[in-house]
Amino acid sequence: MSVTRPAATDPVICLASNSPRRRELLAQIGVPHAVAAAHVDESLLPAEPPADYVARLARLKAATVRDRGAALPVLAADTTVVLEGAVYGKPSDRTDGLAMLAALAGRTHQVLTAVALATERDVTTRLNCSSVTFRNIDRAEIEAYWETGEPHDKAGGYAIQGYGAVFVAALSGSYSGVMGLPLLETAALLRDAGIRYWIGAAR
């Protein structure tokens, strides 16, 4: 298994994701980590509730990397956007992406992010749910945003920490959760497993 180490400090967990946003968020709370992406089938099961869907994928990602022989506890997360019960994952193409943004425009949607930690004992999960309200967006701006390239691999077709921030009229919940790794829930999982955060912080 190929593992990269993003920091000189010895990692205390393995992150089952190549997402630069999740790496930045872990660094923000002082958690040195190795990285080993988990490539899994992210298909939604028939009639699967959105919360169950993200929790299942987070657990699957964590367990997949652990079962490959990762020596460290494995942290994984999965994020999806939900509008009136419908799941909006990553756009499959331009048409899909434009349709997603048009559906979200002027409305409030939910962003669900599940976090899982796989240790030698078990796999534990926590779920964060946040609500995001978009202002109205006209077709020309939706098309211009798509052409930036940012929406192509983002759940719901936007990035709150990027250019997509200009669409957000209101946020209720966790900014880091909408980015893809809710830090409150992540820290709780680490703390419960006896894993430190704030490593390197002044004492």
Q: What is the pLDDT of residues 183-199, one digit of tens each?
A: 999 999 999 999 999 99
- Which residues are catalytically annotated? 78
Other CB atoms within a 10 A radius of the CB of residue 140 amount to: 8
Task: Say how far apart CA 126 and CA 62 lie, in whole Å.
Answer: 13
Q: Whose CA is closest to 151, among 102, 86, 108?
A: 102
What is the chain's mean pLDDT, rounded?
Answer: 94
Task: Say how far apart CA 108 and CA 170 lie, in whole Å.
Answer: 9
Tell me whether residue 158 is exposed, middle or buried, using C-beta atoms within 10 angstroms of its C-beta: 0 to 12, 13 to 18, 19 or more.
buried
Question: What is the reported pLDDT for 203?
Answer: 53
Question: What is the reported pLDDT for 5?
Answer: 43
Tell me whether residue 121 is exposed, middle or buried, using C-beta atoms within 10 angstroms of its C-beta: 0 to 12, 13 to 18, 19 or more.
exposed
Digit-coded pLDDT (tens) for 134-149: 999 999 999 999 999 9
pTM: 0.92
Residue ranges of the chain whose pLDDT lies below 50 = 1-8
Question: What is the reported pLDDT for 3?
Answer: 46
Question: What is the reported pLDDT for 202?
Answer: 54
Task: Say how far apart CA 4 and CA 16 lie, in whole Å.
Answer: 11
Digit-coded pLDDT (tens) for 107-116: 999 999 999 9
